[in-house]
């Protein structure tokens, strides 16, 4: 596996790593050290975007794509006939340092297939991180994958070198996991998440007492769910997400539209990945984290899936028209956040600006508030911005109506009316 | 109407503003030394402003006390957009700030605050993007060299970031558009004006290898089933691609 030239192995391993969607380099803020390479910024930095429009922030790569497990949804499963390759820890360290120095990347995201045993694999990952931190004095971002079933002591060590650690749940329910990933019991994923969550809280407390207390995964932990490979409803997914944010204090839950990477008969045959559903789930995820919504408000038994026609907030607002319209000059920040089309930034600007002046439609536009959807839910100085008041179904129709673009004006042509100009020139 | 002539730097502009305030100007004009026209038909008197760091620092202190740190930062970002007429706009902004005080930052929907904020936001946004878009090459002279062509004059905003990040090597970020460069010598960075290359810098042997590896990695990392060049172009506009290693074809020289 190490006999292939480096560039080919890099391609094979990048290919195998690209379905893990976690990419962010945010959440950690560490200043540079004199004479050493690297720092981290809390907002994270994207360095490039690939042809699918996803950002590249970290060098996302596997140590090896050989794996002893046989999870049906995974490209690298044992039974799949693909090229296998591996990198030595030195090669990964060298690539990371040299890519980072040229400012191609923000750090390393290291994952791997499971070889020999969970503990052995975890040790390999930790070894790379340790080399980077201790020998090369690399001070940039490191995201380490935790191997399901690895020893708790190894997990505790991983978080001391990495900025972020993650372990992927992949499938939202126990049944799906048992069906598609028979080698990975749910406990082998959830227990490390619990442990990491506890260690992060502990290290934060310790650092309040003493600034020299060691960090543990200062950028927190994340996970990924595959969408569309199994029959779970959006409600199950969003409720699980809410639990992960509230109980285990995850920084991010990523959703990955299922791309059929195998023809296993346990998996659905999808013509295209469910990208719109993935997008709606991210919108709902943002509503949970930044807009004060809870899962049961967005979805319930009668309404188990997100509406593909609307964003989840518009959908919620259309079911709660009795709460609207609200007066933009008076209403609380929390309520503004619930108006469709108004985001965190717009809401903050409105709250700031209305202390100075009275806001009307013109002022709102100047603040950069997009009124396309918001106008139907707002009054400004007592005046309803949506024109005629509509009831639920008609408002829905209005919001779904395509925005009219002016008809294309074609350049007038002298002979446009005559189908064939050769009739004029006589060269029939 | 008096025209104030300053050296083109932000400090120089602050000194010019301080001079105007002292002279009790109502509607001054500002011009950079290098664009100065020799007395046009309607030009009033010209006044030369001497750039003096102490008086610029003093003006900053006055502004921060009267308005806020945020207003000063906004003005600094907006100034570096180098748009035509930005000086007059900032003059109105600063004078209004000194009149109304801390309320300035709340007047988001009023002119000139709205325009200044918008321009400042564009510059800050571009500066953030370039923290990712700078591409260093290892040149034979033994340091890292990068070329950029941003819309705004963002070097003062990104240089401190790279001082923190690449603190173990000397480097130079060359803004081709404005012929200036930020240069770091392992201790501190400074801005050098009128930089021109006399010949193409030679890169080290390893440089081509790493660039080629990066290009292959970049190509393979896209998921074909999710192909979305429009989204890609939204994030990496074509005008930025000229100096990005991953968008060059593998055979062109770096």
Query: Does the pLDDT value for residue B123 go beyond 90?
Result: yes
Instruction: Give the pLDDT confidence score for residue B42 in this predicted structure.
Output: 60
Instruction: Give the pLDDT confidence score for residue B167 in this predicted structure.
Output: 87
d(CA A416, nearest CA chain B) in Å: 33
Query: Does the pLDDT value for residue A11 go beyond 80?
Result: yes
Check A356 against B110: CB less than 8 A apart. yes
φ, ψ of residue A8 to 5 degrees: the values are -70, -40
Minimum CA–CA partner of A45 in chain B: B132
Structure tokens at A16: 């195998």
Beta strands across the sheet bearing A141-145: A58-62, A107-111, A141-145, A164-166, A221-227, A252-257
Cβ-defined contacts of A390-395 (< 8 Å, 24+): A391/A321, A392/A318, A392/A321, A395/A318, A395/A321
At A255 the three-state DSSP class reads: strand
Spell out which residues of chain A touch residue B189, defining contact as CB-CB under 8 Å. none
Query: Does the pLDDT value for residue B163 go beyond 50?
Result: yes
Spell out which residues of chain B touch residue A11, defining contact as CB-CB under 8 Å. 216-217, 220
pTM over 0.80: yes
From the candidates A31, A87, A102, A367, which should be mutated to test the interface with B, based on the most B CB atoms within 10 A? Answer: A102
Question: A6-298 in CATH: which number?
Answer: 3.20.20.70
* Nearest CB to A18; choose among B165, B211, B221: B221
Residue A126 CA to residue A123 CA, distance in Å, equals 5
**Closest-CA residue to A339 (of A389, A304, A306, A292):** A292
Check B217 against A14: CB less than 8 A apart. yes
Find residues 108-127 of chain B whose CB sits inside 8 Å of chain A.
Answer: 108-110, 114
Segment B133-157 mean pLDDT: 91
Structure tokens at A29: 């803020």
* Nearest CB to A101; choose among B108, B131, B166: B166
**Closest-CA residue to A140 (of A20, A36, A49, A55):** A36
Burial pattern B87-96, b for ≥16 Cβ within 10 A else e, equals bebbbbbbbb
- For chain B, say whether A366 makes contact (Cβ under 8 Å): yes
Query: Does the pLDDT value for residue A245 go beyond 90?
Result: yes
d(CA A32, nearest CA chain B) in Å: 5
- For chain A, say whether B73 makes contact (Cβ under 8 Å): no
Query: Does the pLDDT value for residue A428 go beyond 60?
Result: no
Burial pattern A336-363, b for ≥16 Cβ within 10 A else e, equals bbbbbbbbeebbebbeebbebeebebeb
- For chain B, say whether A32 makes contact (Cβ under 8 Å): yes
Instruction: Give the pLDDT confidence score for residue A423 in this predicted structure.
Output: 47
* Nearest CB to B167; choose among A36, A55, A273: A36
* Nearest CB to B107; choose among A6, A37, A356: A356
Burial pattern B62-85, b for ≥16 Cβ within 10 A else e, equals bbeebbbeebbebbbbbbbbeeee
Spatial CB neighbours of A198, under 8 Å, sequence gap ≥ 6 = none
Q: In chain B, where are the structural domains located?
A: 2-124, 134-247
Segment A230-255 mean pLDDT: 92
* Nearest CB to B109; choose among A59, A106, A367: A367
- For chain B, say whether A42 makes contact (Cβ under 8 Å): no
Average pLDDT, chain A: 87
Check B167 against A37: CB less than 8 A apart. yes
Spell out which residues of chain B touch residue A138, defining contact as CB-CB under 8 Å. none
Residue B44 CA to residue B3 CA, distance in Å, equals 7
Q: In chain A, where are the structural domains located?
A: 6-298, 320-400
Segment A117-130 mean pLDDT: 94
Q: Residue A87 CB: number of other CB atoms within 10 A?
A: 24
d(CA A291, nearest CA chain B) in Å: 23
Residue B163 CA to residue A35 CA, distance in Å, equals 10
Instruction: Give the pLDDT confidence score for residue A181 in this predicted structure.
Output: 86
Segment A418-427 mean pLDDT: 48
- For chain A, say whether B167 makes contact (Cβ under 8 Å): yes
- For chain A, say whether B174 makes contact (Cβ under 8 Å): no
Check A102 against B135: CB less than 8 A apart. yes
Residue B162 CA to residue A101 CA, distance in Å, equals 10
Residue A89 CA to residue A76 CA, distance in Å, equals 20
Instruction: Give the pLDDT confidence score for residue A427 in this predicted structure.
Output: 45
Instruction: Choose the weakest-confidence range: A10-14, A42-46, A95-99, B24-28.
Output: B24-28
Cα–Cα distances in Å, from A11 out to A64, A99, A416, B214? 12, 15, 53, 10
The answer to whether A78 and A17 have CB atoms below 8 angstroms apart is: no
Residue B71 CA to residue B64 CA, distance in Å, equals 7
Instruction: Give the pLDDT confidence score for residue A356 in this predicted structure.
Output: 77
Residue B208 CA to residue B223 CA, distance in Å, equals 26
d(CA A296, nearest CA chain B) in Å: 31
**String of DSSP letters for A144-212:** EEPPTT--HHHHHHHHHH-SEEE---BSSSHHHHHHH-TTS-THHHHHHHHHHHHHHHHHHHHHHH-TT
Structure tokens at B182: 């930020």
From the candidates A36, A49, A59, which should be mutated to test the interface with B, based on the most B CB atoms within 10 A? Answer: A49
For A351-385, write each residue's pLDDT tens digit. Answer: 988 887 889 998 899 888 999 889 899 999 888 98
Segment A23-36 mean pLDDT: 83
Q: Residue B231 CB: number of other CB atoms within 10 A?
A: 16
* Nearest CB to B216; choose among A7, A52, A59: A7
For A382-401, write each residue's pLDDT tens digit. Answer: 889 888 777 778 888 888 87
Query: Does the pLDDT value for residue A426 go beyond 50?
Result: no
* Nearest CB to B223; choose among A18, A33, A353: A18
Segment A211-237 mean pLDDT: 90
Beta strands across the sheet bearing A378-380: A326-327, A378-380, A383-384
- For chain B, say whether A20 makes contact (Cβ under 8 Å): no
Instruction: Choose the weakest-confidence range: A58-67, A262-271, B87-96, B156-165.
Output: A262-271
Helix or strand (DSSP H, E) at A143: strand A141-145
Confidence of residue A289 (pLDDT cuts 50, 70, 90): very high
d(CA B135, nearest CA chain A) in Å: 6
> CA angle A290-A291-A293, nearest 5°?
115
φ, ψ of residue A245 to 5 degrees: the values are -70, -45
d(CA A340, nearest CA chain B) in Å: 21
Structure tokens at A42: 């809390």
Instruction: Give the pLDDT confidence score for residue A421 in this predicted structure.
Output: 47
Query: Does the pLDDT value for residue B253 go beyond 60?
Result: no
Query: Does the pLDDT value for residue A417 go beyond 90?
Result: no
Query: Does the pLDDT value for residue B43 go beyond 80?
Result: no
Query: Does the pLDDT value for residue B29 go beyond 50?
Result: yes
Q: Kindly give the pairing relationship between strand B2-6 and strand B144-148.
A: unpaired
Average pLDDT, chain B: 87
Minimum CA–CA partner of B112 in chain A: A366
């Amino acid at each position: 596996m190490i006999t292939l030239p480096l560039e080919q192995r890099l391609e094979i391993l990048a290919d195998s790593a690209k379905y893990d969607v976690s990419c962010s380099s945010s959440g950690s803020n560490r200043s540079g050290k004199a004479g050493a390479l690297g720092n981290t910024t809390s907002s994270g930095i994207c360095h490039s975007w690939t042809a699918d429009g996803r950002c590249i922030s970290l060098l996302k790569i596997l140590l090896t794509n050989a794996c002893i497990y046989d999870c049906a949804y995974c490209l690298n499963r044992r039974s799949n006939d693909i090229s296998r390759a591996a990198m030595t820890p030195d090669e990964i360290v060298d690539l990371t340092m040299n890519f980072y120095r040229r400012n191609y990347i923000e750090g390393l995201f290291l994952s791997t297939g499971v070889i020999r045993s969970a503990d052995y694999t975890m040790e390999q990952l930790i070894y790379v991180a340790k080399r980077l931190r201790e020998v090369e004095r690399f001070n940039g971002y490191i995201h380490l994958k935790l191997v399901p079933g690895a020893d708790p002591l190894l997990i505790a060590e991983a978080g001391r070198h990495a900025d972020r650690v993650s372990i992927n749940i992949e499938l939202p329910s126990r049944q799906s996991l048992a069906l598609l990933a028979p080698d990975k019991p749910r406990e082998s994923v959830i227990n490390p998440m619990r442990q990491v969550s506890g260690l992060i809280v502990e290290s934060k407390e310790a650092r309040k007492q003493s600034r020299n207390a060691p960090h543990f995964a200062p950028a927190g932990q994340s996970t990924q769910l595959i969408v569309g490979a199994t029959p779970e409803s959006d409600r199950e997914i969003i409720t699980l997400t809410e639990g992960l944010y509230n109980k285990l204090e995850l920084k991010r839950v990523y959703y990955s539209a299922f791309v059929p990477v195998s023809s296993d008969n346990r998996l659905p045959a999808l013509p295209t990945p469910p990208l719109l559903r993935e997008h709606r789930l991210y919108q709902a995820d943002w509503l949970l984290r930044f807009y004060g919504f809870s899962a049961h408000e967005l979805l319930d038994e009668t309404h188990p899936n997100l509406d593909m026609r609307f964003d989840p907030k518009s959908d919620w607002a259309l079911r709660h028209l009795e709460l609207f319209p609200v007066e933009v000059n008076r209403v609380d920040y929390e309520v503004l956040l619930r108006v469709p089309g108004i985001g965190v930034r717009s809401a903050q600007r409105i709250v700031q600006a209305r202390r100075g002046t009275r806001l009307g439609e013109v002022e709102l536009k100047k603040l950069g508030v997009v009124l396309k959807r918001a106008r139907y839910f707002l009054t400004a100085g007592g005046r309803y911005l949506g024109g005629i008041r509509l009831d639920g179904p008609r408002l829905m129709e209005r919001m779904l109506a395509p925005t009219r673009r002016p008809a294309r004006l074609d350049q007038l042509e002298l002979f446009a009316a005559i189908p064939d100009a050769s009739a004029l020139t006589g060269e029939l | 109407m008096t025209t104030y002539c300053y050296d083109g730097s932000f400090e120089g502009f602050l000194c010019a503003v301080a001079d105007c305030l002292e002279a009790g100007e109502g509607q001054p004009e500002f011009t950079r030394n290098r664009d100065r026209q020799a007395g046009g038909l309607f030009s009033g008197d010209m006044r030369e402003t001497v750039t003096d760091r102490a008086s610029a620092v003093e003006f900053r202190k006055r502004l921060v006390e009267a308005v806020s740190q945020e207003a000063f930062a906004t003005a600094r970002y907006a100034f570096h957009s180098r748009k035509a007429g930005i000086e007059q706009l900032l003059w109105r902004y600063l004078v209004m700030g000194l009149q109304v005080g801390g309320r300035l930052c709340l007047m988001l929907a009023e002119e000139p605050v709205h325009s200044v904020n918008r321009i400042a936001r564009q510059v800050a946004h571009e500066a953030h993007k370039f923290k990712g878009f700078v591409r260093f090459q290892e040149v034979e002279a033994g340091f890292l060299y990068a070329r950029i062509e941003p819309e705004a004059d963002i070097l003062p905003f990104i240089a401190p970031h790279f001082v923190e990040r690449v603190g173990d090597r000397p480097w130079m970020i060359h803004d081709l558009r404005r012929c200036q460069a930020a240069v770091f010598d392992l201790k501190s960075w400074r801005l050098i004006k009128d930089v021109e290359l006399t010949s193409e810098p030679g890169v080290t042997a390893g440089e081509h290898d790493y660039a080629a590896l990066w290009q292959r990695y970049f190509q393979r990392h896209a998921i074909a089933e999710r192909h979305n060049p429009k989204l890609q172009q939204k994030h990496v506009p074509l005008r930025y691609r000229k100096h990005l290693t991953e968008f060059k074809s593998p055979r062109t020289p770096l």
